[in-house]
Amino acid sequence: MPIATLRISCGFALALIASILVSACGGGGYGGGTGGSAGGSIGSSAPGSPTGITVASGNGTLTVSFTPPGNSGSSAIIDYTVSCTGGGVTRTATGSSSPLTVTNLANGTSYACAVTARNSVGSSAASNTVTGTPVNNTVAACSLADRQNFVVAQLNEWYLYPETLPTNINIANYSSVDALISAMTATARAQNKDRNFTYITSASEEDAFFNSGATAGFGIRLGYDSVAQRVFILEAFEGAPALTANIDRGDELTAIGTSSTNLRLVSDIFAAEGAQGISNALGPSTVGTTRVLRIVRGTTPREVTIAKADYSIEPVSSRYGGRIIEDAGKRYGYINLRTFISTADNRLREEIQKFREAGITEIMIDFRYNGGGLVSTGNLMGDLLGGNRQTSEVFSQLTFRSSKSANDSIKRFAPQTQSASPIKLAFITTGSSASASELVVNGFIPFFNDKLALIGSNTFGKPVGQIARDNAACDDRLRVVAFTTRNSANSDAYFNGLAEAVKASCRANDDFTRPLGTASEASTRQALDWLQGKACTAIPVTSAEAATASGVGPATMVSDQVTLDIEPMPLPEQPTPAQREIPGLF
C-alpha cells in the first residue's frame, strides 16, 4: 500500500476532565438562531454551476467528482455541496474541492446527485443531475480473520512503539477487531503512550467528516458531573436539529426518553448505569433516531422531541468563531476553532486576514473543546499566525520510528497573504484540548517564550499522531499511532499536558453560562486580562489525570454552593469519526 494513501491526523481519542463553571442562571446561549449569511451588494454575484459531474459507487456511499465552474462570481469560492436524493431522503456532503463522498446511503437505492458552489454572495444554481446506486460488493473479502490479519500486519509495520507489541498473537482468541487492537496496544497503554489513540473506523465516514464536517446526530456537545449527576449543553452546532429546536450552550439536560411517557431522569440513569448510560440513552448516531429530552434553561423546564439528522459541522462557528473584541480601549483578535478539518482552512484565512487588516497584534485562540484533527490544518494555522516568521524557521516536525524514518518531515513557516503578525498569543485550553491543538501551541513556544500563555486548565497531553491505513475492501481505516510531533527545539515532552512546557499560564473557569467569545465569559476574560499584563494564578503543572485525582482543576462554587467538575460525555460504543475528534459530541 503506497505511502500516498496515508492521511495524517492528530485527533482526540479519550476525553479527560475539564472543570467548568456552572451558574444557576443557565441559558448562556445565543438565542437559538444561526448566524446570518453574507448579503450581496451592487455588482456582486454567486458562482456558476460546477460541471463534469461523475459518480462512483461504494458500500453505502457515492463519491461525486466535478469540475469547478469557470466563473467563480464576484468572490472566491468558499465550498461545494453535493446533494443526493433517493428513497425519499436527501443526503449531503460539503467540502472545499472535488471529490466529495456522501455517506449513510442505502445500498441498492438509486440516488440523483447534483453539486452547487458557494461564495460570499451565495450559492450557484445546481449542476446537472447524475444518478448512482450504492452497492456492497466486498462482503466476501471481509471476514473477521481477514480484517484482523490486516491490523496485525499494519501495527507490526507502522506502530510507533514496536517494542511494546506482543511477539506472537493468536487472532482466534479475539471476537472482534477492537478487542484485538486493545490487546496489541495494552503495553503502550499501560505506559501512558497510547491512550486508545489506535483504533479502527469507517474510511468513507471519516473522509466525509475531514473533508466537509459531515456527520449525523442532534448536533450538541455534552458535559457531565458524575458526582452531582448532572448533564449540560456546552455547545450547539449550526444547521443541526438541537439549535433549530432552541437548545443551546448553558441549558441542562434533566431527562431522556423515547416518548414523553417513558422519560428517565438523568440522575436515575447515572445511579443505575453511570455516565455511559447517558450515552446509551441518547441512542445510535443514525439519521431518524428520535428522543424526547427535558431541557431546563434557568429554572424553566420544557420537553423537546428531536430526531437525529445529517449536518455538517462548521469548524469556525458563524456565530462566534471569529471576532474582534474591544476591551479597555484596545482591540484583540479571537478565534474559536472547534476541530481541524479541511473546511476550516478558508475560514481561518478569512478571520485572520481581518486581524491583519485591523492591525491586531494580540490574539486569543480558543481550543477549549478542540480534540485535534488534520496536521495540515494545524500547519496552516502556524503559517497564518506566523506573518513575522522567516521561511527558514521550523514550525513543526513529524518523527516516525527508525525503520520508517524516510517519512519524517519538517514543516517550515510559509507566511500567507492573509497572515497576521502577533506579538502575544493566548491559547484557551482544557483537558479536551488535544493533539493538533497542542501541536499548534507547541510550535509557537520557542518563538514567543513568556509572550505565549495557556489560559484555563492543562491540555490533554498527546504529542503523537496517527496515520491512516486503509483496507478498502472492508471500508476499514486503521488509525495507527505512528509519529511524534515536535517543535523547532525538538520538544515533544508534553504527555502530561502543555502546562509544563509553557512559560506563562493562567487558571480560569469555562463559564458555559455565558456565550463563547464574549469578554464576560471567564476564560475569555482571563485571556484579555493576561494580554493586558494583569497578574494571575498559574495552571498547575500536572496531568489531567492527576488533576482529577487530586482536585487540582479549576473548581467553581455556584449559587447553591455545589462544586461541579464537568468532563465531556464518554464515547458511545460505536463512535462516529466526528465523535472521536470532537469531545462530547452527540
Q: What is the pLDDT of residues 279-320, one digit of tens each?
A: 999 999 999 999 999 999 999 999 999 999 999 999 999 999
Does residue 493 lie in a domain region?
yes
User: Do 434 and 531 fall within a single domain?
Assistant: yes
User: Residue 2 contacts by C-beta under 8 Å, 6 or more apart in sequence?
Assistant: none
Pairwise CA distance, residues 96 & 117, whole Å: 9
Q: What is the total count of domains within the chain?
A: 4
Does residue 16 lie in a domain region?
no
Does residue 160 lie in a domain region?
yes
Q: What is the pLDDT of residue 94?
A: 86
Would you mind telling me the total number of residues written for the chain in this entry? Answer: 586
User: Do 58 and 174 fall within a single domain?
Assistant: no
Does residue 357 lie in a domain region?
yes
| pLDDT averages per 10-residue partition of the chain, 586 residues | 44 39 40 37 81 88 91 88 90 87 88 93 93 74 93 98 97 97 98 95 95 96 93 97 98 98 97 96 96 96 98 97 98 98 97 98 98 96 98 98 97 98 98 96 97 97 96 95 97 94 96 95 97 96 46 36 73 92 95
Determine the residue type at 578. A
Does residue 6 lie in a domain region?
no
CB distance 576 to 311 below 8 Å = no
Does residue 468 lie in a domain region?
no
User: Do 372 and 455 fall within a single domain?
Assistant: yes
Helix (H) or strand (E) holding 20: strand 20-21
pLDDT tens across 110-148, in order? 999 999 999 889 899 999 999 999 887 655 579 999 999
User: Do 286 and 181 fall within a single domain?
Assistant: no
User: Where a domain ends, among 280, 311, 342?
Assistant: 311
CB distance 478 to 169 below 8 Å = no
Pairwise CA distance, residues 300 & 307, whole Å: 22
User: Do 285 and 399 fall within a single domain?
Assistant: no
Question: By residue range, what is the domain housing residue 116?
Answer: 51-132
- Tell me the CATH number at 492: 3.90.226.10
User: Do 165 and 68 fall within a single domain?
Assistant: no
User: Where a domain ends, among 132, 158, 173?
Assistant: 132
User: Where a domain ends, among 107, 132, 157?
Assistant: 132
User: Do 303 and 436 fall within a single domain?
Assistant: no
Axis crossing angle, helix 375-384 with helix 344-358, rounded to the nearest 10: 10
Pairing of strands 264-265, 61-67: unpaired
Q: What is the pLDDT of residue 8?
A: 60
CB distance 457 to 19 below 8 Å = yes
Determine the residue type at 399. T
User: Do 125 and 221 fall within a single domain?
Assistant: no
- Tell me the CATH number at 100: 2.60.40.10
User: Do 369 and 456 fall within a single domain?
Assistant: yes
User: Do 284 and 339 fall within a single domain?
Assistant: no
User: Do 435 and 298 fall within a single domain?
Assistant: no
User: Do 285 and 158 fall within a single domain?
Assistant: no
pTM summary value: 0.80
Does residue 15 lie in a domain region?
no
Does residue 238 lie in a domain region?
yes
